Structure 1
Amino acid sequence: MSHLVRRFVSVLGTCCLATGLALCVAQAPARAETSGGFELVALGVRGGLDDSNLSSYLIRAQGDAHYLALDAGTLLPGIDRALARGAFADAGPAGGDTAQGHVFHDLIAGYFISHAHLDHVAGLLIAATDDTGHKPVYGLPSTLQVLSDDYFNWQAWPNFGDRGAKPALGRYRLTETAPGQWFDIPDTTLSAQVYPLWHDRITSSMILLRHGDAYFAYFGDTGPDALSGGGHHLADIWQALAPLVRRHALKGLLIEASYPNEVTDAQLFGHLTPAWLERELGALAEASSDPEALKGLKVLVGHTKPSLKAGRDPRSQIAAQLQAGNRLGVHFILPTQGQQVEMP
């Protein structure tokens, strides 16, 4: 039994076991009777170069007023772009703030940081110079340790966290999440569970969100199990998601495809190509015991890395390669900055 499974069993107690893996997601605490879905707003979708458009998304349960941020590579420029495209139309009055300030101050309940690479935290750091409202930042202990030691240390940046180098200003509450343990997101109807991911030399993470009997999975940067030196983080996750897929409770997932297929495995550094992504989605279909199980599932694809070479458009290449290899019938979506995606 894997370390992840032992932790699931010890934390959650009774679980149903399948093929030696703990499938405990169905035992999440009930916070809402509804089985509604989710609304996602893309604040940043790229994996580098353009610092105004780096990985960051806001998600909320349908009917909620507040969002959870999924990574924070770009915050305020992404909010501005989303407002220009008609997002947050039901947000209510802004009080004394600009519309951008209203979203930042009042509508974000907290942040999930999948890992501490700069393209996933730059917006979080920069925006801390304004009063954030002492909001929680959720992440694995290893991720939060990097935030505290390497960024919030009064050398790289003032300590806007609530621990570490003194004085700790406390604008963010660094909130550790144990793998496999459900927790609630205050001021929302969301519950969440975090899973570790392999990302070359560091541990990244995925967060599984629950609203009633509806689920959404957000993956930080990750490479395929086959290149991880014997790891099985994605295999564990596919086993955990399989029962949700079978009963159509998984409303969507967001995962990366950083490079086109032409990039060699040796140059991926813990990322996915369209071919590797589709191979991993095939493993999810296999875990679900139904080759048709993923048909129509919304698979949002982000973290595409742009190029400064004339005539090259990696995003278009990735989109074309995903469609060409789409034998599972999933609904691939490559969001653009500011776009809203509904997952009812």
Structure 2
Amino acid sequence: MSVLHPRKKRRMDSHPGHFDLVVVGCGGGHDETNLSAYLLKPRDKAWSDGILGLEAGSGYGALKRLFGTTHPHLFSSLFKSHQSKSKRPTNLLDKAHTSSVDKAHTVFTHLRAYLITHAHLDHCASLIISSGSLPGPTRYILGAQSVLEDLERCIWKPGRCWPHIVGWDQSEPSSNTAGGILRSLKLASSDDKDGGDKDEDYLPIRAGLDDMSVRVVPLSHGCAYTSSAFFIRHMRTRHEFLFFGDVEADPVPLGSSSASSCTSSSNSHAVNSPARPMLLPVWSHTAHLFTSNRLRALLIECSYPAGRPESRLFGHLSVEGLRKEIKVLADEVVKLQPSRIGGEKVINAVKVRQPSGTDRPTRRPLKRRASSDLPYPRTRSLVKSPASATPSSPSPSPAPALAGPLSGLRVIVTHCKEPPPGFDLQGAQTIADYIVEQLKFGVKSLGLGPDETGAEYIAACQGDEFGEPSLLFRIGGGKTAGSYNPYWSAIKESGGSVAYLPSRPIVCQYIPPGIRGHSSPPVVPPVLFI
């Protein structure tokens, strides 16, 4: 029997959503066709109004391959006006938009600017290679001053690795900026006394993308490198999501026996010193936004599965490191919850008993309701991976009865590195799915228990769309069974029914035509918002 696996049209936040995002690439190497690259727009704008690139590891070539293979319906709203009702193209314009080359060309015509977290090639290779050759207006290349200086000094300015075809914003008119205009973004203050509302830290994107602003914060990416994270804000609604570049976990204090592998500097205040935590201010700001219902999603790397030695992380996160950092965020959220009510504190609508003395907080178990009392069918849940059946794989949670302080937060896991040949994924489709299972359920053999923060971990996959409704169904082995976009039209044409509840998943009650020959019903993932 074939097992149906949905991949994946999702939204990353609660209703009504504020951004649309397409994953052009999300891998951490060594596959050069799937490197960090995301295309973003405000949800209330059209793709043709302007696109922002988050990173640029993969680009035109990766998008062209997606159009020509597994994801022909990406950016469907951009081509909707060019689609003929007939199955055959009726004019040259329709023919152009059936070509993966022309589709990718058209998408990049609307790209207005890039946000780059750091200058490593797996995050900017396509930007460099395509500079000066892609259609459309001259693009802005935005990032921290040090990031842009690294790119200019090492790539463009010598004119050896690539022609010197970029210039700084407001530079001399005679400067050649055919490849892009560099504009540095000031790093935000680490002081978060204003609870996430220090508006001067949010800088306009400009470049025709006036509905978005960004707050840039520094990150540590190993002893020798710095990186960045972006709080991206929808200007009208003030809703945000958080996007991380490469990052390592905050070190423990210098006196600890498990201190960071980074050798301590004689300057204890150096930006990468183990004595200075860089993620704690990020989590503090995130907690303010989360508790005020203005942030419900973050994208963060988890390069390696559990069990990798700390000395071989090279400035990245493994499962243990990410779990530790998410726990820090949960602790920051608990600090900001409303005042105690009858000796309890409300945490995302779940009452949590407060500690007495030095006792740790304990959460009150929730009573499970009968299926008839649930506001949505239980069948919406994704099928658990067979990995949970083996001792060395993540162990499944028997029945989640607790809602932790991060309930409602989606943690989109990115930058998972390709495993070595012969690595046993224990039934998971990809290394990202394998890592997400470990994040959720832990690894018994390593003493890592299930996550208790309430965060929802989601594996990013190349070609994912977080935004407009559609679904791509897969049959066991990753074979594409059928693609449906827009999702609503597919349901209507097939005579199926759909239940839509605000802030709840869309639940499909029919088997799409392309997979009706298979006995297993489709399992539809939550439709998530950013």
Paired residue for 1:205? 228
The alpha-carbon deviation at position 316 of structure 1 amounts to 4.2
The aligned amino acid for 1:161 is: V
Confirm or deny that 1:73 pairs with 2:57.
yes
Confirm or deny that 1:90 pairs with 2:94.
no
Paired residue for 1:154? 159
The alpha-carbon deviation at position 248 of structure 1 amounts to 1.9
Distance, in Å, in 1 between the alignment partners of 2:465 and 2:106 is 18
Paired residue for 2:176? 168
The alpha-carbon deviation at position 307 of structure 1 amounts to 2.3
Q: Is the 8 A contact 1:82 1:339 kept in 2?
A: no
SS at match of 1:225: coil
The alpha-carbon deviation at position 105 of structure 1 amounts to 1.4
Confirm or deny that 1:286 pairs with 2:331.
yes
Paired residue for 2:122? 119
Paired residue for 1:134? 138
The alpha-carbon deviation at position 171 of structure 1 amounts to 2.2
Distance, in Å, in 2 between the alignment partners of 1:264 and 1:56 is 28
- Structure number having the greater helix percentage: 1
Distance, in Å, in 1 between the alignment partners of 2:287 and 2:202 is 18
Paired residue for 1:263? 308
Distance, in Å, in 2 between the alignment partners of 1:254 and 1:284 is 14
Where do 1:296-311 residues align within 5 Å?
296-311=408-423
Q: Is the 8 A contact 1:159 1:167 kept in 2?
A: no
| Structure 1 length-normalised TM | 0.83
SS at match of 2:297: strand
Could you report, residue by residue, the CA deviation over 1:123-150 in whole angstroms, capped at 9, with x for unpaired residues? Answer: 1111114145211111011100111011
Paired residue for 1:19? none
SS at match of 1:192: strand
For structure 1, the residue ranges without an aligned partner over 5 or more in a row are: 1-33
Q: Is the 8 A contact 2:112 2:138 kept in 1?
A: no
Paired residue for 1:55? 36
Could you report, residue by residue, the CA deviation over 1:10-67 in whole angstroms, capped at 9, with x for unpaired residues? Answer: xxxxxxxxxxxxxxxxxxxxxxxx9842111101111111111001111222112222
Confirm or deny that 1:340 pairs with 2:345.
no
Could you report, residue by residue, the CA deviation over 1:166-189 in whole angstroms, capped at 9, with x for unpaired residues? Answer: 973442111100011321123231
Confirm or deny that 1:193 pairs with 2:193.
no
The aligned amino acid for 1:206 is: A
Q: Is the 8 A contact 1:71 1:120 kept in 2?
A: yes
The alpha-carbon deviation at position 312 of structure 1 amounts to 4.0
Percent identity of the aligned residues? Answer: 29
Q: Is the 8 A contact 1:78 1:338 kept in 2?
A: no
Task: Compare 112-121 and 81-90 and name the one that shifted more.
Answer: 81-90
The aligned amino acid for 2:151 is: L
The aligned amino acid for 1:296 is: G
Task: Compare 73-82 and 61-70 and name the one that shifted more.
Answer: 73-82
| Structure 2 length-normalised TM | 0.55
The alpha-carbon deviation at position 79 of structure 1 amounts to 2.0
Distance, in Å, in 1 between the alignment partners of 2:325 and 2:204 is 29
Distance, in Å, in 2 between the alignment partners of 1:241 and 1:144 is 26
The alpha-carbon deviation at position 80 of structure 1 amounts to 2.3
Distance, in Å, in 2 between the alignment partners of 1:308 and 1:127 is 30
Paired residue for 1:243? 288
Distance, in Å, in 2 between the alignment partners of 1:252 and 1:78 is 25
The aligned amino acid for 1:320 is: E
Could you report, residue by residue, the CA deviation over 1:109-133 in whole angstroms, capped at 9, with x for unpaired residues? Answer: 2100000001001111111141452
Confirm or deny that 1:234 pairs with 2:279.
yes
Q: Is the 8 A contact 1:55 1:74 kept in 2?
A: yes
Which of 245, 249, 272 in structure 2 is aligned with 1:220? 245
Cα pair distance change 1:316/1:216, threshold 3 Å = closer
Task: Compare 90-99 and 323-332 and name the one that shifted more.
Answer: 90-99
For structure 2, the residue ranges without an aligned partner over 5 or more in a row are: 1-14, 83-92, 189-200, 252-259, 261-271, 338-346, 348-403, 426-430, 442-449, 468-528
- Structure number having the greater strand percentage: 1
Paired residue for 1:104? 108
The alpha-carbon deviation at position 311 of structure 1 amounts to 3.5
SS at match of 1:40: strand
Cα pair distance change 1:91/1:42, threshold 3 Å = same
SS at match of 2:166: coil
Paired residue for 2:438? 321
Distance, in Å, in 2 between the alignment partners of 1:135 and 1:192 is 17
The aligned amino acid for 1:125 is: I
The aligned amino acid for 1:72 is: A
Q: Is the 8 A contact 1:43 1:81 kept in 2?
A: no
SS at match of 2:183: strand
The alpha-carbon deviation at position 222 of structure 1 amounts to 0.2
Distance, in Å, in 2 between the alignment partners of 1:341 and 1:82 is 16
The alpha-carbon deviation at position 196 of structure 1 amounts to 0.4
The aligned amino acid for 1:60 is: K
Q: Is the 8 A contact 1:238 1:287 kept in 2?
A: yes
How many corresponding residue pairs? 309
Q: Is the 8 A contact 1:81 1:338 kept in 2?
A: no
